[in-house]
């Protein structure tokens, strides 16, 4: 958004400068035509030499009213013209320096990233992921080797770097040491495998999600170190089948998980080691009455999932609660879980 706003500001600046010049020339020309009865060309020429302070002799002898008008034109017109020319010159200089300024700004923003996602790939899948992150306010940076794809991301106002996602120095530059996770959504399975191997070598505990176009590639990515592997084709096919068989269920899940839904949301809440919820059952914690949320499932520390847990299910530190509720209620629950 910063890049787009700067471009819009410069465009408005140049439009303002051009508008001011047109107004000054129009007022001066019309003034001499009305006051002195000159031709339009003579009036326009007189306005030009007055505003530009060229110092040439008057086109014709001026009457007293003409002299008063010329004085006013020199006072107000010259200042206005100078201001307009200043805007034009500033716009030209900024347009030349703009790429360098934006590059430095992006570098500073990357240096400040923390708890962010490194999104490898700016294709169709990558752009959809970027849109979702932006809607939910999740910090991220995109990396891709395609200059056109990177430029498209930058024009949307997001952070992006044109580089190879399998290079260690690039991932370090994108602060992989403080990243929340990495998503490998590059154009080919081989590129994703290399990116996963590099990321896993730099930070073994990093949460890594990978896109796979086939089951065989998915197994290789898991062996390379991916925590989760997602196949867009498989998910899309299952979604279409479920929509055909159970449209109401699909509508409810989309309603509950959509980031655009302001009334109901499904979220995962981590139980901290010092949380008052740790070591208590769902009934003892009184989650439904205190926070107005529904516990849909509990993911244990070992990765096992308990769906629709009973009221006497024990919540332990490092468990992930999958809950359904209103956004504000979920925020209160997250604070209590910490």
Strands 140-144 and 160-162: parallel
- Provide the token pair at 298: 């509990």
Query: CATH 1.10.287.70: which residues of the chain?
Result: 2-110
- Provide the token pair at 194: 């290399």
Architecture of domain 260-337: 2-Layer Sandwich (3.30)
**pLDDT by 10-residue block (mean), the chain, 338 residues:** 56 75 86 88 86 74 84 80 75 62 80 93 92 89 93 89 93 94 92 94 94 88 92 87 86 70 75 87 86 87 85 88 84 84
Q: Which residues make Cβ contacts (< 8 Å) with residue 164, sequence separation at least 6?
A: 145, 170
Query: CATH 3.40.50.720: which residues of the chain?
Result: 113-236
* DSSP code per residue over 244-306: HH-HHHHHHHHHHH-TT-SS-EEEEEEPPTT-TTTTEEHHHHTHHHHH--EEEEEE-TTS-EE
Q: Which of 318, 324, 288, 286 is nearest to 304 (CA)?
A: 318
3-state secondary structure of 144: strand
- Residue that has been written with the tokens 């769902």 in this structure: 282
Residues 88-138 pLDDT 10s: 777 666 666 556 667 777 888 888 999 999 999 999 999 999 998 998 889
Interatomic CA distance for residues 242 and 127, integer angstroms: 25
Q: Count the helix, strand and coil residues of the chain and give each as a percent rounded to the nearest 5.
A: 60, 15, 30
Interatomic CA distance for residues 224 and 209, integer angstroms: 11
What was the pLDDT predicted at 233? 85
Assess if CATH 1.20.1050.10 describes domain 2-110.
no
H or E element, residue 267: strand 265-270
Strands 320-325 and 265-270: antiparallel
CB 191 within 8 A of CB 202: no
Q: Which residues make Cβ contacts (< 8 Å) with residue 5, sequence separation at least 6?
A: none
State the angle between helix axes of 215-224 and 189-202 in degrees (0 to 180), rounded to the nearest 10: 10
CATH no. of 113-236: 3.40.50.720
Q: Which residues make Cβ contacts (< 8 Å) with residue 135, sequence separation at least 6?
A: 259, 260
């Amino acid at each position: 958004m910063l890049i787009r706003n700067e471009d819009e500001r410069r465009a408005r600046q140049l439009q303002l400068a051009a508008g001011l010049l047109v107004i000054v020339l129009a007022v001066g020309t019309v003034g001499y035509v009305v006051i002195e009865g000159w031709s339009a060309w003579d009036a326009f020429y007189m306005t030009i030499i007055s505003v530009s302070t060229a110092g040439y002799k008057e086109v014709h002898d001026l009457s007293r009213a003409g002299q008063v008008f010329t004085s006013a034109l020199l006072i107000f017109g010259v200042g206005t013209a100078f201001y307009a020319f200043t805007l034009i010159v500033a716009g030209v200089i900024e347009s030349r320096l703009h790429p360098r300024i934006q590059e430095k700004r992006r570098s500073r923003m990357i240096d400040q990233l923390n708890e962010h996602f490194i999104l490898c790939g700016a294709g169709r899948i990558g752009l959809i992921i970027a849109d979702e992150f932006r809607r939910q306010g999740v910090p991220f940076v995109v990396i891709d080797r395609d200059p056109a794809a990177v430029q498209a991301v930058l024009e949307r106002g997001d952070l992006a770097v044109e580089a190879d996602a399998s290079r260690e120095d690039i991932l370090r530059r994108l602060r992989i040491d403080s990243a929340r996770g990495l998503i490998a959504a590059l154009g080919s399975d081989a590129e994703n495998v290399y990116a996963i191997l590099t990321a896993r070598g730099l930070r073994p505990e990093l949460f890594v999600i990978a896109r796979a176009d086939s089951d065989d590639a998915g197994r290789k990515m898991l062996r390379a170190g991916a925590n989760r592997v997602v196949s867009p084709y498989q998910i899309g096919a299952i979604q279409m089948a479920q929509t055909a068989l159970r449209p109401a269920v699909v509508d409810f899940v989309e309603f509950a998980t959509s980031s655009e839904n302001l009334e109901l949301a499904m979220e995962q809440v981590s139980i901290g080691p010092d949380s008052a919820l740790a070591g208590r059952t769902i009934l003892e914690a009184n989650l439904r009455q205190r926070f107005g949320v529904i516990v849909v499932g509990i993911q244990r520390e070992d990765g096992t999932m308990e769906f629709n847990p009973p009221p006497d299910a024990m919540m332990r530190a490092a468990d992930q609660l999958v809950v359904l509720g209103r956004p504000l209620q979920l925020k209160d629950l997250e604070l209590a879980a910490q």
